[in-house]
Amino acid sequence: MTIDVARSVKKMFVDGKWTESESGQLFEATSPATGEVIGQVPKGTRADAGRAVEAAHKARSAMAGLKGFERSKRLHRIAEAIERRREELGHLLTLDQGKPLVAEALGEVDEAAEYFRIAAEDLKRLEGHVLPSASPTKLVLARHYPRGVYGVITPWNWPLTMAAELIAPALAAGNTVVWTPASSTSVISAAFMECLAEADWPPGAINLVTGPGAEVGDEVAGHPLVDGVGFVGSTETGASVARRAAGKHLMLELGGNGPMVVFADANIGHAVEGAIVGCYLCAGQSCTAGERILVEESIRDEFVARLADAARALRLGDPFAPETTLGPLNNEGVATKMDEHVADALARGAKLVLGGERAEGFPTRLYYHATILDGVEPSMRVSQEETFGPIAPIIKFRDEKQALALANDSPYGLLGAVYTKDLSRALRFADGLDTGWVNINESTNYWEAHLPFGGRAGKKSGIGRVGGRFALEQMTDLKTIVIEIESI
């Protein structure tokens, strides 16, 4: 694996300027693909985060003063900058995050640009309301206004997409933003920030603070001058963010271990294709991964055999090679969790069909074989927790009633999928699944950027919705205006 690594020192972006941390400290960014140091990034502090929040607070009036069509032009400029630097951003994304360049990274760059295009157009149609009044001489309007300062805290698995799905609608709504990305993908985040800065926003309108999430993210979430917080990440960290951000507007996209239910009447080949995408896209490091594959008993053997054949065709390897379809995991923490979940399942009676271990002969120990476990029981860790790795746990069921009970036997409720040719059954499952999104005869990892996405109430997968106008509307305040017409 030969890559020309340009080691560089990145900076934060605060109040319209590229800047160092007040501490002067840097941390090294290491590629999960190569093991090489690919850059040095400012180790931000609480003081840095506070300085960014204050800059964003001061910029509120200037940002709100930009009319919608002016903000739209700037959002299109961001999309253009992303598209112009597509190859560079894709390369850096692969280097920093680990996902295959051709199979995944370039597509994520394209999707990030699309989020800004969508926000640019949706804000032109952010309509208010004319409401009826009990008084015949009153005119009542309800109009959207910016909330103020938004803190945006994003993860490492989709460092461009997850940032864009929050930052684009926040800026479109006229808010100012303080963004704290995951430390392990700070290099690509800083490059992405360069595209955001090209749009010539008022100083302080968009800020980037890199550093430990427990410090900079925590400071942003709890800062009294922050008016809303958007977070994407684990359920545990999301609960901490919610506590710190008590009283602020919250949008939380948290964990999942989405059930994929396959009935005997399904097109098995199509279901296998969906499981491959659901379990192995981004090396399984997706909140919408199909982390529980529920298969009707009568077709389980055939499904498992065909899934194993399809998984063997995946190409684990150099993520810069065009033929690679499965790259390394991003960090040791998630690789260790894979080890633990596989070991727990095997110790409790599951059967290892494929994989189950780290691959040898690569530059880092983060390359993991595509894994299939059969005979998984609902009580096993791999079923109850979010594994976040390249794994397909197979759970059998007898009938529709048991399938629905098993599918809902989870603390998570983000996304589920059902494969069947019976439309009535499909619609019953769409109603009955305790998830915020249901795909029918489609992978758990299928979504579109303009559609409302988020967790089901009563589960631990978050609150609020990202996606298109749904995020934009939530990131505004609705102000009611009553006019006494006869006094005019």
Summarised one tens digit per residue, pLDDT across range 108-153 is: 999 999 999 999 999 999 999 999 999 999 999 999 999 999 999 9
Q: Within 13 Å and on the Cβ side, how many CA atoms surround 43? A: 8
Q: What is the CA radius of gyration of the chain?
A: 23
% of the chain beyond a pLDDT of 70:
98
Sign, Cα dihedral of 264, 294, 252, 163: negative
Of the residues 104, 219, 253, 385, only one is catalytic, namely 253
Q: Which of 287, 296, 386, 442 is catalytic?
A: 287
Residue of 279, 250, 276 lying closest to 455 (CA atoms):
250
Are 8-254+464-478 and 259-448 in the same CATH fold?
no
Tokens linked to 299 = 């077709």
pLDDT of 1 reads 37
Give me the CATH topology for the region 8-254+464-478.
Aldehyde Dehydrogenase; Chain A, domain 1 (3.40.605)
| Catalytic residue flag (residue 287) | yes
Binned at pLDDT 50, 70 and 90, residue 486 comes out as very high
Give yes or no for residue 7 having a pLDDT over 70.
no
210 half-sphere exposure, CB direction, 13 A CA radius: 32
Tokens of 15: 């109040």
Give all strands of the β-sheet with 37-42 in edge-to-edge order: 8-9, 37-42, 26-30
Domain boundaries, the chain: 8-254+464-478, 259-448
Q: Which CATH number fits domain 259-448: 3.40.50.170, 3.30.1360.70, 3.40.50.1360, 3.40.309.10?
A: 3.40.309.10
Its pTM surpasses 0.85: yes
**pLDDT tens figures, 359-416:** 999 999 999 999 999 999 999 999 999 999 999 999 999 999 999 999 999 999 999 9
Backbone torsions φ then ψ of 12, nearest 5 degrees: -85, 165
H helix intervals, 142-199: 161-172, 186-197
pLDDT at residue 9 in the model? 79
pLDDT score recorded for residue 487:
84
| pLDDT for the residue numbered 153 | 98
pLDDT in tens, 226-268: 999 999 999 999 999 999 999 999 999 999 999 999 999 999 9
Read off the tokens for 272: 């296998």
Average pLDDT, the chain: 97
| 70 among known catalytic residues | no
Tokens standing for 51?
């300085």
Phi-psi region of 355 (alpha: psi -120 to 50; beta: other; left: phi over 0): left
Which residues have CB under 8 Å from 226's CB, separation 6+? Answer: 53, 149, 150, 151, 178, 220, 245, 248
What pLDDT is recorded for position 4? 44
pLDDT of residue 314: 98
CA distances from 438 to 29, 260, 394, 454 (A): 37, 10, 19, 11
Closest CA relative to residue 392, chosen from 257, 266, 301, 255 = 257
Which strands, in side-by-side order, build the sheet including 138-146? 129-131, 138-146, 476-484
Round to whole Å and give the CA distance between 216 and 467: 26
